[in-house]
Amino acid sequence: MQASRDDFVIAIRSAFLKKENKQKFSLVALIFLTFLILVSEKFNLKPIDYLKISLREIAYRSTFIVSIPENFIKKSYIATKNHFSVYEENKILKERLDIELSKNYNSEYIIEENKRLRSAIEELESIPSEIVGKVLVDKKSPFLRSIIVNRGSRDGIELGMAVMDKSYLIGKIVEVTFTTSRVLLLSDLNSKIPVDLMPNNIQSILSGTGEHHGLIQYTRQQSLIENDAIVFTSGAGGLFKSGIPIGKIYKDPLNSRVIVNFFSDFSQLRFVKIVSFKGKPE
């Protein structure tokens, strides 16, 4: 009797282990589970509520995790696009700003020069006579800075004449031959000229350093000198006409030196103007 019962159990188990029976069993189990959930909702059982909440939480979390890569790619794309857009816009704005600053600087320069010229008391009216010369040789040494130009005494060149690059003073004639002249640049260690610093109208001496800048020396008003102040010739001693622009002030915070950055780049000179300021009575 016991053997026949075991055989019956084995037969039922074998029947359920067959593939088709497995599928039928799974379908029946799923239907039974669905029916159980529907019935349990009417009775409002807490375990079922907890189960539903847990399933929803799992679904929400899964959706959030799955969407992370997509959101990251989307945000990265938007950020990259905005970066390039801001870069191009900044480039355009910078170009416009440079143009506007150039216009403002020219206006400021003209205003300051006019103020200086109006405030200066001169007995003679200066009449410039310009001679254009080509730079032939650039003599360089650790401390000396000078150039040779293809204009000499046959062209009316004289010692002490001012040499300019556009409207900026760069040096003076110190040697003259029949066909050439040597120009001592403002950056030369031996160069010292009287200057005015605007807008505070501070008188001082500009000294060469042998480098690409000059230094303001021999002034008691150094504390009043402002950054970006404009340096002009003062006309003191009759060496140069007053009001010729030279450069801009930079105050070195490390050693308290007052540096003059020249408007002209002396290493790029090709043509210069040799100017004589002859006076005539008013």
Tell me the domains of the chain and their CATH numbers.
125-281 (2.40.10.340)
| Gap between the Cα atoms of 119 and 232, Å rounded | 13
Binned at pLDDT 50, 70 and 90, residue 30 comes out as: low
Whether pLDDT at 114 is above 80: no
pLDDT, residue 154, reads 94
* pLDDT tens by residue, 32-87: 666 666 666 555 656 666 666 666 666 666 666 766 776 667 777 777 777 667 77
Instruction: Answer whether 237's CB lies under 8 Å from 209's CB.
Output: no
What does the pLDDT read at residue 188? Answer: 92
* Inter-helix orientation angle 19-43/46-119, to 10°: 80
Torsion angle (degrees, nearest 10) of CA 96, 100, 259, 214: 100
Given a cut of 60, whether residue 256 has pLDDT beyond it is yes
281 or 99, which is more confident: 99
**Is the confidence at residue 225, as pLDDT, over 90?**
no
Amino acid (one-letter) located at 10:
I
Instruction: Report helix, strand or coil for 53.
Output: helix
Buried b (16+ CB within 10 A) or exposed e, 33-51: eeeeeeeeeeeeeeeeeee
Q: Provide φ and ψ at 255, rounded to 5°.
A: -130, 10
Tell me the C-alpha distance between 155 and 157, whole Å: 6
Query: How far apart, in whole angstroms, are the C-alpha atoms of residue 226 and residue 248?
Result: 10
Q: Contact, 233 vs 242, CB < 8 A?
A: yes
Higher pLDDT, 46 or 89: 89
- What is the Cβ-side half-sphere exposure of residue 144, based on CA atoms within 13 angstroms? 10
- What is the rounded distance in angstroms from the CA atom of residue 193 to the CA atom of residue 189? 12
- Roughly what angle, to the nearest 10 degrees, separates helices 2-17 and 19-43? 90
* Contact (Cβ atoms closer than 8 angstroms) between residue 207 and residue 185: no
The pLDDT of residue 200 is 82
Rounded Cα distance between 131 and 156, Å, is 9
Of the two residues 246 and 51, the one the predictor is more confident about is 246
What is the CA angle 243-210-248, rounded to 5?
35
- Number of residues in the chain: 282
Query: pLDDT tens-digit profile of 153-191?
Result: 999 999 999 999 988 999 999 999 999 999 999 999 999
Residue 273 has pLDDT above 80, yes or no: yes
The pLDDT-based confidence of 124 (bands split at 50, 70, 90) is very low
Closest by Cα among 199, 78, 191, 103 to 145: 191
Strand partners, 208: 214
Among 90-104, 110-124, 257-271, which stretch is predicted with the lowest mean pLDDT? 110-124
User: Which tops the pLDDT comparison, 224 or 141?
Assistant: 224
Mean pLDDT of the region 93-109: 65
pTM here? Answer: 0.54
Can you give the pLDDT at residue 171? 94
Cis peptide before 281 (omega within 30 of 0): no
SS3 at position 180: coil
